[in-house]
Amino acid sequence: MYNILVAAHSGIRWIIVLMAVIVLIKTLIGWLGSQDYTKLDRQLWLGLVNSAAIQLLLGIVMVIWLLVSGLGFGGVFGLYGEHVLTNIIAIAILMYAARFKKLSDTLQHRNKFFAVLVSALLIYFAVARVGGWG
Ligand code: HEM
């Protein structure tokens, strides 16, 4: 059962990578081209944030599983602890960026671009720490 959770968690990473790349390109073009923030932009944004939220929930279940089953989590400052804390910060940045919807369209594009950029870098290093890029 735990293996299924890890496999799902491992697979969803690619959805997040794909969504992050699309949102980065779309917001960069939107910012530099002073484009409207459209319904498509909102849907892509939700796709990214929702896949990150699912990843967070799966991750929390996995951590509880490791703790309860006695498999061992390795502590807050262990390898998994680092992965978990860094990713929680990365996902929190994405969720905080929802506030930018109150700004003008160009500023929303710009701020979301930088939020995803910082978040994606954190995710990249957090996943690299657990050897998750192969
Ligand atoms: C965008 C965020 C995240 C991504 C892309 C991600 C990706 C990954 C990847 C690729 C692995 C390696 C899986 C494997 O060995 O095949 C992994 C492992 C793990 N992740 Fe995440 N993760 C994210 C967030 C989280 C969060 C928020 C938590 C906990 C709250 C978490 C908990 C874990 C744990 C416990 C493992 C170790 C699984 C094991 O090998 O037993 N992850 N993660």
The pLDDT tens digits of the residues spanning 2-59 come to 999 999 999 999 999 999 999 999 999 999 999 999 999 999 999 999 999 999 999 9
What mean pLDDT do residues 112-128 have?
97
Domain that holds residue 22: 2-129
- CA dist 8 and 75 (Å) reads 23
Which residues form the pocket of ligand 1, taking CB atoms under 6 Å from any ligand atom? 6, 9-10, 13, 16, 52, 55-56, 59-60, 62-63, 80, 83-84, 87-88, 123, 127, 130, 132
What mean pLDDT do residues 99-126 have?
97
Any domain includes 134? no
- Sequence letter at residue 43: Q
Any domain includes 75? yes
Any domain includes 48? yes
- Sequence letter at residue 92: A
Domain count, the chain: 1
Any domain includes 76? yes
Choose the residue to mutate in 65, 83, 121, 122 for probing ligand 1, maximizing ligand atoms within 8 Å of C-beta: 83
Any domain includes 57? yes
Could you tell me if 126 and 82 are in contact, meaning their C-beta atoms sit under 8 angstroms apart? yes
Provide the pLDDT for residue 71. 84
What share of residues in the chain are helix, strand, coil (percent, to 5)? 85, 0, 15
* Tokens 């890890």 -> residue: 6
Model pLDDT for residues 11-27, shown as the tens digit of each residue: 999 999 999 999 999 99
* Tokens 């293996």 -> residue: 3
Q: How far is the CA of 36 from the centre of ligand 1 (A)?
A: 35
Any domain includes 23? yes
